[in-house]
Structure 1
Amino acid sequence: MHRPSTAEAEVAEELAAVRPGLVPRYTAALPGARAAVLTRLWRALAHEPLPWVASRTAGREGLALRLSDGRRLHGPHPDPYATSAYVTALRLDDVAYDDPARLMTDLAVPHGSGLAAELGHSVASLALSRAGRRPHSKEWPARDWEWEQRVVDGHPFHPNCRARPGFSVAEQLAYGPEHGPLVRLGLVPVPAGECLVTGAWPEALREGERLLMPVHPWQAEHVLKRSGDRGLDAHPLMSLRTLALPDGPHVKTALSARLTSSVRDISAYSIGLSATLSAFAQTLAARMDGLLHVTRTLGAVTADSPDLAAVLRESPQVYAATERGERVVPVAALATTELPDSPAWLADFARLALTVGLRLLDLGVALEAHGQNLLVVLSTSGAPLRLVYRDLADIRISPARLARHGIPVPELTGRIVTDDETTLRRKLFGSMVAGALAGTAGSAPALRAALETAVPDLPRTPDLLALLEDRLPAKALTLMRLSPGTPGDQWTDLPNPLH
């Protein structure tokens, strides 16, 4: 019989106090949540360059990993693009593990105890999310935030897909988009002279010589240690810290908690670049023959602190002709709706996404086009028509490629600027192909079929040749969590589905 992990037991105890009616559903959801997180962990163990994995050997019954201390870890043949929970247990020597947190604890690798605790949180929070999810009809939502709140399981490939350490059960229920809450954002007055502002900060969020800064209630309580009576009601989107305001715009708030991989604050660097990036993105979108829209940054502000900052953006919904029945859908939410003739639809979507991505990359811009940042406009019949992209903070721009095409280079500095070919390709292929397309396809065979159909129609660029011939880059998400002293992204190479 499975013994609940510490995180599972703590969530059950808190849930019994704040929402006792959910306890049976939470308990029933735990085995599936363990399998979902264990499947994601097995992907990492099978494919990432973990220093304590000495060798990997595939056999008739699955894959065997020989660890540097001589132990062996056995599991099924891995599908790096699978989104279903196909791993229910892994065997370390002669002991079977169905709990990813216990497995990581007993692996006893450097920094493994911290990751084990996060995996426990991921399982417990995922079970809570599944227990508390609201049923939805087969009808398409009318409002953009309703699409986002359909996404329950979080990141399709990260073992920490639902880890929310620092959030109580009551806070998860109150702020998690999958639970459908209405969140009251605080409005913190800050003297305008103490703020860095780019773009146009709206008059509705000004008060004389002070700016009213939208603040997430978790941030206000746990980080800023302040509260107030004034605020705005908003609907949380899948990133948790970005919310849809009633009059349409989206507000990205600072949230100094570790969600999935990163602490979600907003740097002064990104605030300073936001207006320049937004204007530059509009000029590039105009070159895409109507296949791409980029949401505009309306205004951004920071009070000289990553803990107190906010960004206002257009809603992607403004780029849908709703009178014709069009809808803008985050790619991560596609799995929540029925799509016509799935293999053919997926090939059409892959063709559209890669055409835009490759053309932009050739011009000199690599999008971070994962399932959260990338959205698709669907016709009333469900056909993919064009793309919408949001959140420019993590794109990469190549001055050399821009200059080669005669495009004026924007005044940008820092990590966003690079001419390194590997960095540019990793950014696009790792997010769009190993992320958005793989997450939508749900398996290596489905991804392979879509790419094979789409490739003949794609722009014949050197980047396409690299996509066809090389292994597929993907962020080494677990290695990054086990390497606290190594800043920035780390990468692995996955089997190319086209080979």
Structure 2
Amino acid sequence: MTSLALDSPAAVAIAEEASVSALLRCCVREIAGPRGQVGYEEPYVLLRVAGTRLRARTHGGLALRFEGRPEWLENDSWQPLSADLLVRLVEAELGESDGEGEGEGEGEGNDEFGAQVAASRDALATLISARREVPPPADPWLASEQALVFGHPFHPSPKARGGEGWLRYAPEAHASFPLRLLGVRDDVLAEAGDTGALDELGQAPSGYSLLPAHPWQLELLAADLAAPLADGRLVDLGDSSRTAVPTSSVRTVYEPLIDRCLKFSLDVRITNCVRKNSWYELAGAVELSRRLEPVFLDLAAAFPGTRWLPEPGYRSAELGTRLLEGLGVIVRMSPWSVCRPGVTPLLSGALAAGRQGAGAVAGDVPAPCRPADPAPGGAPTMAGWPVADPVRWWRAYVERVAPPVLDAYLCHGVVLEPHLQNVLIGVDAEGLPVEAVFRDLEGTKLVAGRHDLSGLPGRVAEALTYDAASGWNRVVYCLMVNHLVEIAASLAGTGSTRELWAVAGEVLAGYAASRGWPRPLSDLLSGAPLPAKANLSVRWARSADRSAGYVTVANPLATA
């Protein structure tokens, strides 16, 4: 794939617009909202940041979908708002040292912040240009994985990426590439669980085991690999015979030869996190897969259509911590292997994406990321799937996703992380949601005190657990704020989401009644404020993503 210069005016304009929108949403949620500096005058949301008045036409309720260019008030005249100006306002607001700030990191400067926002904007422009040069995958699931061009709608730098040469491996640019195959001498092989599928990728020499590697990963580890490659502890076996396809997480690829997803360790920062497989996460994935098997059997029996993607094994090389983690690959089942025949898995994030930038030229917006054209007969469509009855579609969607997530927490002490990139929706031939597939055990946790972890190493047990309050906040944020709010906004378009939330309330109330109205669900259904992850604050404070706090936002169930 050719690296494209940022010389497409349309791509640059869309990237600028999307960057302004993402950062402005963060300002509404994390800066102006908690300070009482947000108001609504139909059709505008109005706010103040660093004393400057801002406004944007909005719809979609809590999702804050913007139409037209956001503006700022200059000398009693509304002017288009640029990303650079908004960054300066955020820096002025959060950098004040008056001691009155409420968020973590306020009162302290951050000389990296503006560059991160600019880098994200530039990366987005490159991705928009690059994806036009390569057709999307024919597989509808993989096409949905590669549709998240704009990234997290409430993140200040949703496409910020560390390292060099990332475009060759970017799912948003419709990348595909062969994996590199290594042989690991058996006396330094590190593995656990079921890794047999990896042996089908090629032929390792006698006394060695096959270890696939992401080519970007090998570039980043070149200096560390020189010695073990020279003395024979590792051997380079060349490229795989087939191309792998990166999924939405960038470092996880689908390998069609073995029908598995492989989660690699890149050790570069992508949005909030440095993406690597720490040694305790390698061990934890296998341990969780073992423990979750009976849990998901129970969930599937109680809520038909519930699926999950186990991570039954990992393989690496015992060559010191850096290479153990850097070469570690986690084997994950593929969605095609768990969905029943006739069901097509689609990434929930692709269904929710919509046009997060406002005023973009329609032809320049990637097709999976904008509302589809009407289907024959005038029925509205969503991501190319007919939605003849949006309310029926939504009820089916909520029924598939919400009850198993809540039951996992309340009845099994398991914290699933059902954000938009961790859930696949299986649709039938009519486009109706009939299955929900949950994945990525890195974010899945066990509620402390409800599981016996005494036999595990301390660091593994620590990484596998949340306390009860933290676990509930994570579940409610991911399920309600990150997920259902965004799906509802996309389904409603520019219309009201009120009817959709009334239906969601009915589904959740039915589940609550079946479980005796547990207190957390009663509070949720009564309209208690929701926790929303503070991505801007954690980036400003330069903290680890796990330490991210929450701000409270309105509960859409309260007005349904």
Q: 1:57 to 1:154 in 2, by over 3 A?
A: closer
Q: Aligned match of 2:474 in 414, 427, 439?
A: 427
1:280 aligns with 2:291: yes
Q: Which residue of 1 aligns with 2:364?
A: none
Q: Which residue of 1 aligns with 2:230?
A: none
The residue correspondences of 1:80-229 to structure 2 (distance < 5 A) are 81-82=62-63, 84-86=65-67, 88-91=69-72, 96=79, 98-105=81-88, 107-108=90-91, 109=95, 110-134=108-132, 142=139, 144-168=141-165, 171-172=166-167, 174-202=168-196, 203-204=199-200, 207-225=205-223, 228=236
Q: Which residue of 1 aligns with 2:348?
A: 331
CA deviations over 1:28-47 (Å, ceiling 9, x no partner): 12222222221221121112
Q: CA RMSD in A?
A: 3.3
CA deviations over 1:109-147 (Å, ceiling 9, x no partner): 344431211111222222222223359999x95463233
1:252 aligns with 2:269: no
Check whether the contact 2:448–2:468 (CA below 8 A) recurs between aligned residues: no
1:384 aligns with 2:433: yes
Distance 1:449 1:275 in 2: 42
Count of residues paired in the alignment: 466
1:465 aligns with 2:510: no
Distance 1:333 1:467 in 2: 27
Check whether the contact 1:149–1:179 (CA below 8 A) recurs between aligned residues: yes
Distance 2:497 2:207 in 1: 54
Measure how far apart 1:450 and its partner are. Answer: 2.5
Q: Which residue of 1 aligns with 2:272?
A: 261
Q: Which residue of 2 aligns with 1:492?
A: 551
Q: Which residue of 1 aligns with 2:357?
A: none
The code of the aligned residue for 2:470 comes to T
SS of the residue corresponding to residue 419 of structure 2 reads coil
Measure how far apart 1:278 and its partner are. Answer: 0.7
Q: 1:209 to 1:439 in 2, by over 3 A?
A: farther
SS of the residue corresponding to residue 398 of structure 2 reads helix
SS of the residue corresponding to residue 89 of structure 1 reads strand
CA deviations over 1:140-169 (Å, ceiling 9, x no partner): 95463233123322223323222224344x
Given the two structures, how large is their TM-score scaled by the length of structure 2?
0.75
SS of the residue corresponding to residue 154 of structure 2 reads coil
Farther off after superposition, 222-231 or 451-460: 222-231
Q: Which residue of 2 aligns with 1:307?
A: 326
Distance 2:410 2:420 in 1: 22
SS of the residue corresponding to residue 162 of structure 1 reads coil
Q: Aligned match of 1:236 in 215, 227, 246?
A: 246
Q: Which residue of 2 aligns with 1:359?
A: 407
Q: 1:373 to 1:107 in 2, by over 3 A?
A: closer
Measure how far apart 1:282 and its partner are. Answer: 1.6
Q: 1:257 to 1:447 in 2, by over 3 A?
A: farther
Q: Which residue of 2 aligns with 1:454?
A: 504
The code of the aligned residue for 1:200 comes to D
Check whether the contact 1:57–1:64 (CA below 8 A) recurs between aligned residues: yes
**Structure 2: which 5+ residue stretches go unaligned?**
96-107, 227-235, 353-367, 369-382, 513-517
The code of the aligned residue for 2:439 comes to R
Q: Which residue of 1 aligns with 2:515?
A: none
Q: % of aligned pairs identical? A: 23
Q: Which residue of 1 aligns with 2:539?
A: 481
**Structure 1: which 5+ residue stretches go unaligned?**
1-14
Farther off after superposition, 334-343 or 310-319: 334-343
SS of the residue corresponding to residue 37 of structure 2 reads strand
Measure how far apart 1:77 and its partner are. Answer: 7.1
Q: 1:134 to 1:446 in 2, by over 3 A?
A: farther
SS of the residue corresponding to residue 275 of structure 1 reads helix
Q: Which residue of 1 aligns with 2:371?
A: none
Q: Which residue of 2 aligns with 1:398?
A: 447
The code of the aligned residue for 1:463 comes to P
1:293 aligns with 2:307: yes
Check whether the contact 2:311–2:441 (CA below 8 A) recurs between aligned residues: no
Check whether the contact 2:476–2:531 (CA below 8 A) recurs between aligned residues: yes
SS of the residue corresponding to residue 255 of structure 1 reads coil
Measure how far apart 1:387 and its partner are. Answer: 1.1
The code of the aligned residue for 2:248 comes to M
CA deviations over 1:453-473 (Å, ceiling 9, x no partner): 032233213332232232111
Q: 1:142 to 1:115 in 2, by over 3 A?
A: same
Measure how far apart 1:246 and its partner are. Answer: 2.1
Check whether the contact 2:49–2:89 (CA below 8 A) recurs between aligned residues: no
Q: 1:19 to 1:346 in 2, by over 3 A?
A: same
The residue correspondences of 1:404-423 to structure 2 (distance < 5 A) are 413-418=461-466, 420-423=467-470
Distance 1:251 1:437 in 2: 28
Given the two structures, how large is their TM-score scaled by the length of structure 1?
0.83
SS of the residue corresponding to residue 181 of structure 1 reads coil
